Every structure is written in structure tokens, then in C-alpha cells.
Amino acid sequence: LLEPLHLTYDLLIFEKHLPQTMRFVDQHPYQMFVVDHIAKPRIREGYLSPWREQIKELARRENVYCKLSGIVTEADYTSWTEAEILPYMEITLEAFEPQRLMFGSDWPVCLVAVSYARWVDIASRLIGQLSESEQRRVWTDTAVEAYRLTG
């Protein structure tokens, strides 16, 4: 795949693709992967399962990172609440921990449901509960590591 080139493979998937994604990742144990938009759970329908169990299972793979992004666009664009999306954010943080979780905006797509400033504010409340070093991981260091960026 992309490993010989030291490139990371972003996985833009929906919840229904998680079983196939785990099989694919298992076939490429040395490839770095980033799950975009927390695998797009069915927030609009209010379903936590089977996404919760499957995202936790995927997170057991050390070569998989996750981007905390694209969440509000999976809820009802006009009537979502922070309380509605928070469980999905918390589950993702618990599964990937700050070591393999990174902030993402999904800008400009997010603008159909939330302003950039409001999304940063919502994410800040979750991330702000972490230690200073863990906050740095989620805001910057995890992305630097996952994408093999150099300063």
C-alpha cells in the first residue's frame, strides 16, 4: 500500500463499513490508518450500537488513529444538540485515548450544521477535561505522528 512511501491511509467510512474495515486493516498491520469522522455513526437515528462496540474493536489496532470530526453532520442538521453528540465523542475518546485521537474540523462541510467556531468550542469542552499533555496530543501531536509530519 502506502507504507513504503511513509504515507498514511485515511478511511472515510460509514458505520456499516466497520467490519470490512477491520478485516482490511488486519491485512496491513504496518500501514498507518486514520478513521475520518469517527466512522460516521448513525447519530440522527440515535443508535450507539453496533457502532460503539465496533469502533472500540477497531481502536484495539495500534496502527489506527481517529479524527474527531464530521460528527454534527451525522446528526439532524437543524435540530441537533451538544448533548446528543457528546456520547459519541466520549466513546471515541475512551476507545482511541488522546494518543490516537486528533481534532478535525470537517470544514467547509461542517458549515451545513455548525460554524467552525462552535465546533471548536464543543470539542474544546471535551478535550479541556484532559491533562495539558493529552490536550496537546489531540490538538496537534497525534496528527503530527499519524501523518508523519516533521517540523
What is residue 9's three-state secondary structure?
strand
pLDDT band at 2 (very low <50, low <70, confident <90, very high): confident
Residues 27-80 pLDDT 10s: 999 999 999 999 999 999 999 999 999 999 999 999 999 999 999 999 998 899
Which domains are seen in the chain, by residue range?
3-146 (3.20.20.140)
What whole-number distance in Å separates Cα of residue 38 and Cα of residue 19? 14
Contacts of 98 (CB under 8 A, 6+ apart): 130, 134, 135, 137, 138, 142
Check residue 139 and report its DSSP letter: I
